[in-house]
């Protein structure tokens, strides 16, 4: 019987879907699912939800719930992390302070000034989780879903011996989107994808072994498809390779789409998924969830129907390969760049193909990115390296310098303006930043 611990189990959507997927593998069906969250009320609801999944599938699994992280981790074979350090009230500062200075950020959970400060708040807790894993389950496979993915994984992988990688659904999600656009069955699609989290590119995308990029280029001539992902489609038209993460996110990661109101109106406001140009919309959605989450989970619990069909998130397949029946599985994971992508910084966090097996997690050498993509991705990766170094040493100057070279920020603000903005963000976050002597 294997034990899989969920840290931050009160993330209802992730926990429900991942537990469903894990138990669908016969070799993992009798696992002990250890649910841990610091919020007893959310923990109680997710325990009831997971019990419902176990009953519906008639699985011989055992479910425990605890607010004690050590208890959840003790003897675990696998660990999943979906924590959030601070709620919407602190997160909104990440967006609203830069916006006051003219830096119009959308979600702000990955990089740039908002992503960096989210990282600074989160990294102490993530390193504490790693220390607990080293103590209570040192051989466990640790799968992280918490953002900002690249910076957190980079910090954990350099400061601990834990076998950790970071997972994002954007790679397989975008691959499926592109297949839909060209009318291809997903089981006939193959691809090679590499870069950094949210800025990985499909270096190859093939249908039955033939290059499918010409078909994608034809597909986005149709207005309904172009408008589905305006920013990403513009990037593809001009950069020749398709990027993994949504238009809303990618509009934040470069200097091309959000530096002027007219560009935001043209590319980031209409027809790009979930209104990614409107931070106010996203904020209201998060605030609304704080008020409605109980109703949503109660409605799910009251529904007699339970979907037990396995989904496409990587975690369950990885656990099955490493601690289950050993069926090897290739996925895109976040790992340090030691000989993987030739023209990105040595040791930075990259997102590359990884093979999961009984041997563990084996990242694959990709080679160089196309030169023009390397320019874009290098900028983000080097800013992330500076931010990680600043976080680990408690040096606010390195954080300032990391934000100085953020593409969107530097396209809008002067150095003096960036310094004022960063100082204000440090002040707003000071209770969450014990590693800095401010």
**pLDDT tens digits for 320-353?**
999 999 999 999 999 999 999 999 999 999 999 9
pLDDT at 272: 58
- The annotation places the binding site for substrate at 147
User: Is the distance from CB of 197 to CB of 149 less than 8 angstroms?
Assistant: yes
pLDDT at 204: 98
pLDDT at 145: 96
User: Across all residues in the chain, what is the average pLDDT?
Assistant: 94
- The annotation places the binding site at 147, 168, 198
pLDDT tier at 273, thresholds 50, 70, 90 = low
Does the annotation count 401 as an active-site position? no
What's the per-residue H, E or C state across the chain? CCEEEEECCCCHHHHHHHHHHHHCCHHHCCCEEEEECCCHHHHHHHHHHHHHHHHHHCCCCEEEEECCHHHHHCCCCEEEECCCCCCHHHHHHHHHHHHHCCCCCCCCCCCHHHHHHHHHHHHHHHHHHHHHHHHHCCCCEEEECCCCHHHHHHHHHHHCCCEEEECCCHHHHHHHHHHHHHCCCHHHEEEEEEEECCEEEEEEEEECCEECHHHHHHHCCCHHHHHHHHHHHHHHHHHCCCECCCHHHHCCCCCCCCCCHHHHHHHCCCCCCCCCCCHHHHHHHHHHHHHHHHHHHHHHHHCCCCCCCCCCCHHHHHHHHHHCCCCCEEEEEEEECCCCECCCCCCCEEEEEEEEECCEEEECCCECCCHHHHHHHHHHHHHHHHHHHHHHHCCHHHHHHHHHCCHHHHHHCCHHHHHHHHHHHHHHHHHHCCCCCC
pLDDT mean over 31-38: 97
- The annotation places the binding site for Mn(2+) at 168, 198
Residue 191: how many other CB atoms lie within 10 Å: 20
**pLDDT tens digits for 154-197?**
999 999 999 999 999 899 999 999 999 999 999 999 999 999 99
Q: Is the pLDDT of residue 277 over 90?
A: no
pLDDT mean over 275-299: 72
Q: How far apart are CA 283 and CA 344, in angstroms?
A: 34
Q: How far apart are CA 4 and CA 6, in angstroms?
A: 7
Contacts of 225 (CB under 8 A, 6+ apart): 181, 219, 233
Q: Which residue has tokens 């102490």?
A: 124
pLDDT at 84: 85
**pLDDT tens digits for 198-218?**
999 999 999 999 999 999 999
Q: Is the pLDDT of residue 275 over 60?
A: no
Listed residue (150, 36, 135) closest to 83, CA to CA: 36
User: Is the distance from CB of 316 to CB of 28 less than 8 angstroms?
Assistant: yes
Q: How far apart are CA 44 and CA 295, in angstroms?
A: 14
**pLDDT tens digits for 107-166?**
889 999 999 999 999 999 999 999 999 999 999 999 999 999 999 999 999 999 999 999
Q: Hey, what are 421's tokens?
A: 């903005």
Which domains are seen in the chain, by residue range?
Answer: 3-167 (3.40.50.720)
Distances from the Cα of 6 to the Cα of 129, 217, 322, angstroms? 12, 41, 17
Q: Hey, what are 133's tokens?
A: 């894993």
Catalytic residue among 169, 249, 278, 372: 169
Q: Which residue has tokens 């007219």?
A: 262
Contacts of 102 (CB under 8 A, 6+ apart): 412, 413
With b meaning 16 or more CB within 10 Å and e meaning fewer, what string describes 316-339? bbbbbbbbbeeeebebbbbbebee
Mean pLDDT lowest for which of 59-68, 258-267, 336-345?
Answer: 258-267
């Amino acid at each position: 019987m294997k034990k899989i611990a969920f840290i931050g189990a009160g993330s209802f959507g992730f926990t429900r879907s991942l537990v469903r997927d894990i138990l669908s593998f016969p070799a993992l069906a009798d696992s002990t699912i250890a649910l841990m969250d610091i919020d007893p009320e959310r923990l109680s609801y997710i325990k009831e939800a997971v019990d419902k999944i176990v009953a519906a599938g008639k699985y011989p699994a055992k479910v425990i719930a605890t607010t004690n992280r050590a208890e959840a981790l003790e003897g675990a074979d696998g660990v999943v992390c979906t924590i959030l350090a601070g709620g919407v009230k602190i997160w909104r500062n990440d967006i609203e302070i830069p916006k006051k200075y003219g830096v119009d950020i959308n979600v702000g959970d990955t990089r740039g000034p908002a992503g960096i400060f989210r990282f600074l708040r989160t990294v102490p807790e993530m390193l504490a989780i790693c220390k607990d894993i080293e103590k209570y389950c040192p051989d466990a496979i640790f799968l992280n879903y918490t953002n900002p993915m690249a910076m957190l994984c980079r910090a954990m992988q350099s400061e601990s011996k834990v076998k950790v990688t970071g997972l994002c659904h954007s790679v397989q999600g975008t691959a499926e989107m592109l297949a839909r656009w060209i009318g291809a069955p997903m089981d006939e699609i193959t691809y090679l994808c590499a870069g950094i989290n949210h800025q990985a590119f499909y270096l190859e995308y093939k249908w039955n072994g033939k290059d499918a990029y010409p078909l994608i280029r034809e597909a986005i001539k149709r207005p309904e498809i172009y408008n589905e992902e305006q920013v990403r489609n513009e990037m593809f038209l001009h950069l020749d390779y398709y990027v993994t993460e949504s238009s809303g996110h990618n509009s934040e990661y470069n200097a091309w789409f959000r530096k002027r109101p007219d560009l935001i109106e043209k590319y980031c406001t209409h027809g790009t998924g979930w209104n990614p140009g409107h931070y106010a919309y996203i904020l209201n959605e998060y605030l609304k969830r704080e008020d409605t989450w109980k109703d949503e989970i109660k409605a799910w619990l009251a529904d007699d129907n339970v979907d037990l069909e396995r989904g496409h998130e990587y975690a369950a397949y990885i656990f099955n390969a490493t601690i289950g029946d050993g069926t090897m599985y290739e996925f895109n994971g976040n790992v340090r760049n030691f000989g993987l992508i030739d023209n990105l910084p040595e040791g930075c966090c990259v997102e590359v193909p990884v093979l999961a097996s009984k041997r563990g997690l084996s990242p694959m050498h990709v080679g160089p990115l196309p030169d023009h993509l390397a320019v874009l991705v290098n900028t983000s990766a080097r800013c992330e390296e500076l931010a990680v170094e600043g976080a680990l040493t408690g040096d606010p100057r390195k954080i300032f310098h990391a934000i100085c070279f953020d593409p969107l920020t530097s396209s809008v603000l002067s150095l003096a303006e960036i310094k004022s903005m960063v100082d204000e963000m440090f002040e707003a976050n000071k209770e969450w930043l014990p590693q800095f002597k401010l």
